[in-house]
Structure formats: C-alpha cells, structure tokens
Structure 1
Amino acid sequence: MSYVVLARKYRPRNFAEMVGQEHVVQALTNALTTQRLHHAYLFTGTRGVGKTTVSRILAKSLNCTGPDGQGGITAAPCGVCDACRDIDSGRFVDYTELDAASNRGVDEVQTLLEQAVYKPVQGRFKVFMIDEVHMLTNTAFNAMLKTLEEPPAYLKFVLATTDPQKVPVTVLSRCLQFNLRPMPPETVREHLAQVLRSEQVTYEDGALRLLSRAARGSMRDALSLTDQAIAFGGGELREPVVRQMLGAVDREHVRRLIAALADGDGAQVVATVEELRVQGHSAASTLEELTGMLQRMAVLQVVPDQVHCTDPDDAECAQLAQRLPADLTQLLYSLCLQGRVELGLAPDEYAALTMVLLRLLAFQPEWTEKKSLKRSSAEAVRPSAVHTEPPPAVTPPSVAPPPTTPLPAHEPVSSPESGDLSDFWHRVVSTLMEREAVTALTRELALQSQLVQRTDDCWTLRIGNPALAQAGSRERLQAALSAHGWPVRIEVESGPVQDTPARRHAAAAEARLRAAEESLRADPFVQSMMRDFGGKIVPGSIQAL
C-alpha cells in the first residue's frame, strides 16, 4: 500500500475533528441540528484552513444515513455509511466538485447547472461545490445567478474562495458567508504534536514551534512541512535539523541584533550581519524573525502577564523587552517591516539588511543615542562659517581632565542651590560624554535628568520620561560615575524637570542658529544678492557648524 501524506491522512472527517475554526463549526452544527439550512454557502479564507474539508463534511451531514441506514440530517456524520465513505473517496455521484481555476468559462458552468434539473440519484441532497469561485468569468457568474438564487429544494451550493473581494456582490448576497481564519501557531503546534504522537515520531518542542510559525496559519502547509521534516531528519524532528531545512535564522543571532540595537552598538550589528552572510542565512528570514520577536516584545511590554513560562522564547523576549522602551520597540518593528520590501531592490541582500539595521540606529528618537553615527572629535572642532559664543550657563569646562584621570568630587554638597546642582550635573554629564563613558539609553538618562539632591554617597535624579528610568540604565550610569571619580549611589524619581543638560544643549544650539542667521543676513554679499537679483534665503536651510 502506498504512503498517504499526513495532510490527507489526517484530514478531518467530521466537525469534531476540525481545529481552529470553532466559530464555523458551531454555526453549521446548530443549523444542521435545527435543520435551518441555507441553499448556498460561501467559505472564505487563506489556503489550507479547511474550506474544502468543511464542504465535504457538510455534504456528508446532509446525506448521512447512519450505520443502520435509517439516519437523517445530522451534525455528526457516521463515516461508515455508503454516502459518507463515497464522499470521502470522491465517488459520490450527488456530490460534484468543480475547480473554477481550470474550469472558469460559461460552458463549464452551464454543464454543471444542467445537472441541477435532475433529482439526487443516491443521496438526500445534490451538492455542487465550486472551489476558487472567484476565478470564474463574469459571464459564468451571470449564468449561475438565477439557479443560485432559487435552486431546487434538493440542491445545495457550496462555494469556496481565497479572495472574496473578486466575487461579485450579486453572488455574495445570495450566499451564507463564513470566514475561516488562519490558525494561530499554538493551535498548529498542538495539532502537530497530536499527529506525531499518533505516528510515533520523536520530536522536539522547538522543532514544532519552527514548523508552526513557518505554516503561517495553514494546517495543510504545517502537515506538508512536517512530512518534509520527517524525511529530512531521518524519521525524527530535531530543532537544528528543522531550522536548517527551513533556512530559519537562529534566534541567538536575532537576540544579538536586538541587544546591539538597544545599546546603539553599530559595530556589533555589522559583525552579526557578516556572520549571517558567512553562515548563509537569508536576509529576508532575518528580518522576519526580527519582526516576530519585536512584535512579541511589544505585547509583553504592554501586558507583562502574558509571558508563557513553558516557552523559552517568551522568557528571552521578556528580557529584551526590559532593555527597550515601548516606543523604540514600535519604531524598530515598523522599520524592519518596511525593510523586507527593500531587500529585492538592492543588488546584495546582506548590504540591504545592513542598511536597514543601521537605519534603525540613525532614525531612533532624539532621546536615543546614535552610537554608530557619532562625530569624531576632529569633526566636533571643525571651523565653521559662523562663530558664536554659547550662553554662559551652558559653557562646558574650559579644561577637561584626561580620560584616564577621574575628576575630583570635592565641591560643597551642603544645602546646594538648584542652580548650582544643575551647573554641576551639566559639567559631569559633559565630561562623561566627552570620554564616551555613557551610550544609548544611559546617555539619554543623564541628558534628560535633573540633579535635585546630592549627598556624599547618594545623588537623586528626576526624569520627566519614565521610560528612561530603567534599572539597567541607572546601574550603567552609576558604574560610569564610579569609574570616573564619583562612587555614589544613583536614585531616580519621576516628575517634571526644568533644567537638564539636554535642554541646555538645545538652548545653546538654538542660540548658535540665531546668531548664524543674523550673521548671514548681515553679510554684504548676501544683501547685494537679495537686493539686486531678488534672492531669498530658503527657510530652514541655514545650519550653524
């Protein structure tokens, strides 16, 4: 006897065996039980979710005679009577399946409708099932409208399509429509585990998770991939083997990429992409895994209680979710999703992947460090066309200590004024930034905070954005201060801030820009160009270097 593939061997034979479509099963079961039967049904949904299966089960329910031959319409077909067995094997003369993808013309439809005038030969009802009905021509649709609206009492229409938008509204209005949903990965995984136990195949949970995600909501695809994985793995399902078969990226690479993005570490991002290139992993698969993990991280950031203790991926996502603010997670997700479209436009998919990931660093919110795009010290002192002096309140120390020498911390701390605290904190933060001692969220915590209290062993910072007050950022800032001469404990509180290093930097930048605009407008050459030739200064085009 030839081997029967899993997708056919485990096709549901009744409503009780169907998984993932409870809303459709319940509606049809109630209709069959009360015998409130419509004359035309339309089942929609993506491939492999059970449209044809539901059609066959419905045909069996309408024509089942029971084991003793005395049964009637039922929601639980017996599966052993002649009608049930013949429908399962495709030999029931009163059940006709028409593939509209290859029989889409008016002639094929008229040939089918000619059979409608004859009563059932073997069963209780004659059932016409038209698969991929959206492929029919307009003429074919028009030919069946009248019969579809008022068929004989013994005739039932069952239509199935993956694209209901292409079905004319005149057809939709004549049908009872059911939408079969894509199945969630957890449902697919549980069904695969049940099938493999029946087949006595050894498997790992990690392998089933990979297969259930790769199926993309289609149970048929999941069973077909499982067949392939069993053959590829020599009768066993091991996670590394299944990952190799699917070309899936190891989640360790994905975790390293997200961690590097969280730290603003461009060098680590580029190194990880190069490692993916060497190992031959797909760039598209990498972005797909990234979007999947970022989506799960976003959910856990909003609803932390949804962590599944039995799923190791959830535990890892929860750890990464604590390292990224919720809005940054949303930004990364959007850019990764858009980046999948751009891969096909680049001559080298790995170069495109690198650019997408570097864009994540370049387009982070302004409170996030752009570590990979920092200017060099030479660039910071580049001479500019416009020279302006910043306000005294934001002037950095005239002499910065060398990077290897910690700054002294002998300033008075008894009853300090708020202005003195702000001046002191601005000098400290400027020093840490010059020495590149703080990066990413740690740097933003320092820039966006205000020093409100200072003692010999404890400094209290106030932050206006609670998303920055994460334990990891606070600990890294505390370690950076200790390494540069301030061995103190940092405490962070939420509340309104008035004077922060970031605001001082912004005020200084605005002052330089105003001075640059005034200097440019006062330039004799610019004035002559505007006067003699009608020249104009484009708003927003002036930048202070």
Structure 2
Amino acid sequence: MSYLVLARKYRPRSFAEMVGQEHVVRALSNALETQRLHHAYLFTGTRGVGKTTVSRILAKSLNCQGTDGQGGITATPCGVCKACTDIDAGRFVDYTELDAASNRGVDEVQALLEQAVYKPVQGRFKVFMIDEVHMLTNTAFNAMLKTLEEPPEYLKFVLATTDPQKVPVTVLSRCLQFNLRPMAPETVLEHLTKVLQAENVPADTQALRLLARAARGSMRDALSLTDQAIAFGSGQLEVATVRQMLGSVDRSHVFRLIEALAQGDGKTVVETSEALRVNGLSAASTLEEMTVVLQRMAVVQAVPDSVDESDPEATEMARLAALMPADETQLLYSLCLHGRGELGLAPDEYAALTMVLLRLLAFKPGAVTTAEKKTLKSAEAPVATAPAAPVAAVPRAAVTTQTAPATSAPAAPAAARPLPVAPVAARPAPTPVDTSERTPPGQVLPVVDAAKAMPPVADSRSNSSVSAVDTAPDAPKVVAVPVRVAPESRADAPVNGASGTPLVPTEEGGFWHLTVQQLVAAEAVTALVRELALQSQLVARDGEHWLLRVERESLNSPTSRERLQNALRAAGHAATLSVEIGRVSDSPAKRNAAAAAEKQQAAEKLIYEDPFVQTMMRDFGAKIVPGSIKPVDPTISPNS
C-alpha cells in the first residue's frame, strides 16, 4: 500500500476544515448561502496557504448534489455525492485545472476557452481554475479578457497566484480578489498537534514549535517538514533530532550570547561564536534566532503581561528582558537584522558572525570610551560660582592693524608700528564701542615693563602722533600689537555653560550637580538616563518628591525617568521623580561647561600675558593657533 503524505492526506475538504483563513471562509460562505455569486475569483497568497484547496471547496459547494441527490448550492458540501468525490479525486468533467506555469501561451488559453461554449455535463457550473495565473503571457491575458468579463451564466473562473503584482490591472478589475494570509506559528502548531494525535506519533511541543517557525506561514511546508522529521526521528519527534534536521541553532547558545552582550562580556561572546563554528551550526540561523528572541524580549519589555506561560522559554526571555534596557534591545535587534545581509559578503561566514557580534558589543549603549572618561573626570572639579575677572579692554582706536604698502621703507619694525590716526578736528568723534567681546585677545596685551613702552610714532600724512599706550584712567596700560588679524580665541566664549539660557546658580542646583557627578563617576547612569540627569534642573524637593525640569521633550521618557529614579534610590536617595518641560538655568551640564570654559579662559589669559609670547608676537609677527591652548589637569605631574 502506497503511503500518502500528510500534506495530501490532511488537505481540507470543506470550509469548516480550513485553518487560518477565517476571513476568506466567512466571505465565501455568506456569498454561497445568499447565492450572491461572482463570476470570477482571484485568490492570492504565498505557497501552501490554501489557494488550490479553496478553489476545490468552492467548486464542490457550487456543484454539490447532497446525500440524497436533491441538494443545491451550499456552503457545506456533503463530500459523499458523485460531484464532491470526483472533484476530490481530480476527475470531475466540469472542473478544469490549468497550470499556467507550464501552459502559459495563447494557444492553451484559447483551447480552454473553447470549452466555455458548452454547458456543464454533470454539474450546475463549469469551473475553470487557472493556477499561477501571473505566468501567462500578455497575449494569453488579452485572449481571455472578453470571456472573463462576460462569461456564460454557468461558467465560473477561479484564478490563483503568488504574485498579484504581475497580473494586469484589466484582469484584476474583473475579479473578486481574496488575499490568503501566511499562517501564524501558533496556528501551525495547533494544527500539527491535531494531525500527529490522529497519526499516533509522539511529539515534543518544543519540536513542533521549531517546525512551525521553519514553515514560515505555509501549512503545506509545515506538514512536509513534519513528514521529514518523523522519518528522521524513526517515528518520534524530539527537540534534538528536529533541531539537527533543520540545522537550527540551539536557543541556549542564543541566550548565552544575549546575556553576554547585556553584561559586556566579550570573552563569552567570542567563545560562544567559536563553539558555533566547531559544531557546524549556521551563522545565518544564529542571527535569525537572535532576532526572534530580541523581538520577543522587546514585546515583554513593552507589555510585561504578554508572557506566554505555556512556552518553556518564556521565563528565560523574561529574565533577559529585565537584564537588558529597552533601547539596547532595539539596537541589538537592528544590528542582527542588518548583519544577516553581510554574511554572504565575507570570505568566511563565521568570521562575519563574529564581527557582527563584536559590533553589538562595541555599540553597546552606555559603553564609556577613554575620551569620555577623561571628560567626566575633568568635569568633576568644583564649579566656582563667582564670575571670572574681566579681561582688560581698550578703546577701538588703540586696536590697529598694519596696512602700510610693502614698498615703503619702514622706520621701525612693522609689527610695532600702529596705523596713524587722523586728527580729531578732521573727522567726528567715533561712537563708543564695547570692545570687551569684539577685540581679539591677540591684538591687545598688557604691558610687561612700563619703562620699555614704545614711543609715539609720527604720522607722515597728518603730522600727528599716536601713543601705543592707552592712558585711560580706569584701564590697565596695554600695547596695540597688530598680528595679521588673528582669529578670535575661545577666551571670549561666554562662561554660562550653554549657548542659550545663562547659568544662574541655585542651592538646589549645587546639590543636584554633586549628586549627578557621583552617579556618573560610579557609572550608575548611562546613555539617555545620563543625559536626562545632566541636562535637568532640580527645581524643588518636597520630602521624597523631587521635581526636575528639562528643556527637551525627548529626554522625558518614562523609561529614562524610571531608571534615573532607581539609580538615585540605589545611591541612598529615596526620591520619587517628576519631570516638567521648561527653561533650565542651572543644570549639571551648564555647571560643567562653565567650569571648563573658566579653565580655558584662565589658560589662554596666562599664555597671552606671557612676556616671551608678547615679544614673539610683537617682533616677529607670530600668532597662536586657535584651539591649541588647553588647560592642564593639575592632578597630572609635569614630568609625566
């Protein structure tokens, strides 16, 4: 006796046996019961979802004669009459199936349409079923358009395709279209359980889950894989044998990789990748399983009540979901998804797998680089709230540049000779200008030795002289040093800690700054949580309730707020945080920026007032490269 494969043995023979296509079954059943029948139907969907099966059930519903031979059009064909049995056996005269993949020419279509002029021989309707209709040529489509639009009342067209985009619009507009959806793994699992119970084949639930996922929405593929697994396992379905047959990666390896990535354990990541290579497991399957696990972890993080208690792996996924932040889960999922496309580009897919895993580790959110650590250490110094001493300013008349022609013989060094100034009577007095922010520091320097001040220089055009020393009573004496109009230095940058609202120190701000610096130094907050802490202002503390204020709405996410609150409680502050949106005038970030700017300003002032630097700039036209002056960390030894 020949063996009938499960996919053919358990093909549905009525709408009640259809699985996973309730929307199509309901529409066709209602149409049959009310006898509002269309003359052409188009069923679309991926392979193995039931397009041909629905076509045969529809043909039986149209031609069923009932058990007593007196039946009519029905949504529940009897399955025992001659029309039903002949259609199931593939020998019903009035039901014709045409495979358009191998009969795609106009001659085959014309031969089929020639039968349309004859009335049914046995049934009520002739049913022409054309499978993979998108494979027909344009000429064949054109040949069937007229008959498809106005067929005889006894003729029904049923078209099936896996690629409806290739079907001409003129054909689509003449058909009633139904899209058969890919089946969910849970639906496939439930159907496989019933089939194996009917076959008396013992099977592990986890093995059936692997088969349901490998089917990728196709029930026919699921039943075919089940047939293969039964043969591979000698009549039993066990997890180990099914996993070996499919070549899929054991979830334990995936769980180990994700846990190592969550903890930043690079050694375990590399060792697990090497174990996959030794066991010959697929690199693509590894990344695919990781994306599946990460997707379920993200769902658990967003909806904690969605855990499936019947899944034995649900507990492990819930543990990993609690171990890894939600933003990191999203990043890992994206990198794994895109990493699958890189496996074919590398000479060795296992080397590519290792690189993808190391990239996950390298881009782990919250991983503080060496430069960031140095920045954090330099920003931990106490912030001086007193304003820095202002840089000495001079009137605009004293700030001059060299514009004499190159052909004139200079009587003194060019760098030391300021431009002549016209007499006061020859032009109106200039409007007072605030030069505290516009005068480049490289052009106005304090006098090192007042006894060595430069003498007045005669003006050859106006017979007047201009002193190089500013004699304003309230300002220190300075020398005008033209240095080729050097770019402005960072010494003129504001010391308010931000480009927007100036820093306004408050008592709560000092406490909050110290608390945040301790959290950052201990690496208790990272990524977006660290930014929320640094960019926020502590407005008020009412017992255990703390009110923070931020300027950017993107920082005020529930996840970041909750993680910052947990970090504060771990540090000994039993606080409940509330965050409002508004202008921030005193935040740890502003204080850190103010401290850094004050150190930079002091360093630049020290360099510009150095006697040797002044001599080089005055006599040789030297200039200081902007941005080259950096404050020295006092904790570092000069000889180190």
In structure 2, the CA distance between the partners of 1:282 and 1:83, relative to structure 1 (3 Å rule), is same
**2:96 and 2:128 in contact (8 A); partners too:** yes
Look up the equivalent residue of 2:559 and give its one-letter code.
A
C-alpha separation in 2, matches of 1:8 and 1:513: 80
In structure 2, the CA distance between the partners of 1:544 and 1:235, relative to structure 1 (3 Å rule), is farther
For 1:325-474, list aligned pairs within 5 A.
Answer: 325-364=325-364, 368-370=365-367, 374-375=369-370, 393=382, 417-418=507-508, 420-422=510-512, 424-425=514-515, 428-429=518-519, 431-432=521-522, 465-468=557-560, 474=566
Q: Does 1:117 align with 2:117?
A: yes
Show the counterpart of 1:187. Answer: 187
C-alpha separation in 2, matches of 1:514 and 1:225: 73
- Give CA-to-partner distance per residue, 1:321-371, whole Å, 9 cap, x none: 23333333333222222222222112122222233233334445xxx3226
C-alpha separation in 2, matches of 1:294 and 1:146: 52
1:76, distance to aligned residue in structure 2 (A): 1.0
- Give CA-to-partner distance per residue, 1:149-184, whole Å, 9 cap, x none: 111111111000001011001000000100001111
| 234-243 vs 48-57, greater mean Cα deviation | 234-243
Q: Does 1:14 align with 2:9?
A: no
Look up the equivalent residue of 1:495 and give its one-letter code.
V
In structure 2, the CA distance between the partners of 1:61 and 1:427, relative to structure 1 (3 Å rule), is closer
Show the counterpart of 1:76. Answer: 76
**2:104 and 2:137 in contact (8 A); partners too:** yes
1:503, distance to aligned residue in structure 2 (A): 6.6
- Give CA-to-partner distance per residue, 1:243-274, whole Å, 9 cap, x none: 12112222222222222333333333333222
| 501-510 vs 332-341, greater mean Cα deviation | 501-510
1:420, distance to aligned residue in structure 2 (A): 4.9
In structure 2, the CA distance between the partners of 1:505 and 1:262, relative to structure 1 (3 Å rule), is farther
1:502, distance to aligned residue in structure 2 (A): 6.5
| 297-306 vs 164-173, greater mean Cα deviation | 297-306
C-alpha separation in 1, matches of 2:222 and 2:124: 35
C-alpha separation in 1, matches of 2:630 and 2:282: 43
**2:44 and 2:51 in contact (8 A); partners too:** yes
Look up the equivalent residue of 1:418 and give its one-letter code.
E
Q: Which runs of 5+ in 1 are unaligned?
A: 382-388, 396-415, 482-487, 524-536
1:66, distance to aligned residue in structure 2 (A): 1.4
Look up the equivalent residue of 1:467 and give its one-letter code.
T
C-alpha separation in 2, matches of 1:328 and 1:262: 8
1:491, distance to aligned residue in structure 2 (A): 5.3
Look up the equivalent residue of 1:370 and give its one-letter code.
A
- Give CA-to-partner distance per residue, 1:212-234, whole Å, 9 cap, x none: 11111110011011111111111
C-alpha separation in 2, matches of 1:542 and 1:88: 86
C-alpha separation in 2, matches of 1:341 and 1:517: 51
C-alpha separation in 2, matches of 1:509 and 1:300: 43
C-alpha separation in 2, matches of 1:317 and 1:52: 39
Show the counterpart of 1:237. Answer: 237
Show the counterpart of 1:204. Answer: 204
3-state SS of 2:522 partner: helix
In structure 2, the CA distance between the partners of 1:505 and 1:194, relative to structure 1 (3 Å rule), is farther
**1:446 and 1:477 in contact (8 A); partners too:** no
Show the counterpart of 1:170. Answer: 170
Show the counterpart of 1:62. Answer: 62
1:489, distance to aligned residue in structure 2 (A): 7.1
Show the counterpart of 1:2. Answer: 2
Show the counterpart of 2:579. Answer: 495
3-state SS of 1:103 partner: coil
In structure 2, the CA distance between the partners of 1:511 and 1:468, relative to structure 1 (3 Å rule), is farther
**1:391 and 1:508 in contact (8 A); partners too:** no
C-alpha separation in 2, matches of 1:420 and 1:442: 19
**1:442 and 1:473 in contact (8 A); partners too:** no
1:18, distance to aligned residue in structure 2 (A): 0.4
Q: Which runs of 5+ in 2 are unaligned?
A: 385-505, 549-554, 606-612, 614-625, 632-640
1:417, distance to aligned residue in structure 2 (A): 4.9
1:67, distance to aligned residue in structure 2 (A): 1.7
3-state SS of 1:127 partner: strand
3-state SS of 1:157 partner: strand
Show the counterpart of 1:126. Answer: 126
1:490, distance to aligned residue in structure 2 (A): 6.2
- Give CA-to-partner distance per residue, 1:38-75, whole Å, 9 cap, x none: 11000000100000000011111111111222211111
For 1:98-113, list aligned pairs within 5 A.
Answer: 98-113=98-113
TM-score, normalization by structure 1: 0.77
1:514, distance to aligned residue in structure 2 (A): 11
- Give CA-to-partner distance per residue, 1:19-43, whole Å, 9 cap, x none: 1001111111111111111110000
In structure 2, the CA distance between the partners of 1:427 and 1:53, relative to structure 1 (3 Å rule), is closer
C-alpha separation in 2, matches of 1:544 and 1:213: 59
Show the counterpart of 1:408. Answer: none
3-state SS of 1:237 partner: coil
C-alpha separation in 2, matches of 1:475 and 1:390: 20
In structure 2, the CA distance between the partners of 1:390 and 1:288, relative to structure 1 (3 Å rule), is closer
**2:95 and 2:127 in contact (8 A); partners too:** yes
C-alpha separation in 1, matches of 2:601 and 2:115: 85
**2:59 and 2:95 in contact (8 A); partners too:** yes
Show the counterpart of 1:402. Answer: none
3-state SS of 1:156 partner: strand
Look up the equivalent residue of 2:83 and give its one-letter code.
A
Q: Does 1:25 align with 2:115?
A: no
The count of aligned residue pairs is 479
C-alpha separation in 2, matches of 1:516 and 1:248: 62
RMSD, matched Cα: 4.0
In structure 2, the CA distance between the partners of 1:94 and 1:512, relative to structure 1 (3 Å rule), is farther
- Give CA-to-partner distance per residue, 1:412-436, whole Å, 9 cap, x none: xxxx953553454356346535xxx
Percent of matched pairs sharing the same residue:
70
For 1:140-159, list aligned pairs within 5 A.
Answer: 140-159=140-159
Look up the equivalent residue of 1:338 and give its one-letter code.
H
In structure 2, the CA distance between the partners of 1:298 and 1:111, relative to structure 1 (3 Å rule), is same
**2:133 and 2:167 in contact (8 A); partners too:** yes
C-alpha separation in 2, matches of 1:491 and 1:272: 41
Look up the equivalent residue of 2:515 and give its one-letter code.
W
In structure 2, the CA distance between the partners of 1:312 and 1:472, relative to structure 1 (3 Å rule), is farther
1:474, distance to aligned residue in structure 2 (A): 4.4
3-state SS of 1:101 partner: coil
In structure 2, the CA distance between the partners of 1:391 and 1:174, relative to structure 1 (3 Å rule), is same
**2:79 and 2:85 in contact (8 A); partners too:** yes
In structure 2, the CA distance between the partners of 1:148 and 1:297, relative to structure 1 (3 Å rule), is same
C-alpha separation in 2, matches of 1:4 and 1:97: 22
Look up the equivalent residue of 2:284 and give its one-letter code.
A
C-alpha separation in 1, matches of 2:242 and 2:71: 47
3-state SS of 1:43 partner: strand
**2:565 and 2:576 in contact (8 A); partners too:** no
3-state SS of 2:127 partner: strand
C-alpha separation in 1, matches of 2:335 and 2:326: 15
**1:298 and 1:321 in contact (8 A); partners too:** yes
1:196, distance to aligned residue in structure 2 (A): 0.5
For 1:476-495, list aligned pairs within 5 A.
Answer: 478=570, 488=572, 493-495=577-579
C-alpha separation in 2, matches of 1:515 and 1:470: 40
1:461, distance to aligned residue in structure 2 (A): 11
**1:214 and 1:222 in contact (8 A); partners too:** yes
3-state SS of 1:236 partner: coil
Look up the equivalent residue of 1:71 and give its one-letter code.
G
Greater helix proportion: 1
In structure 2, the CA distance between the partners of 1:427 and 1:74, relative to structure 1 (3 Å rule), is closer
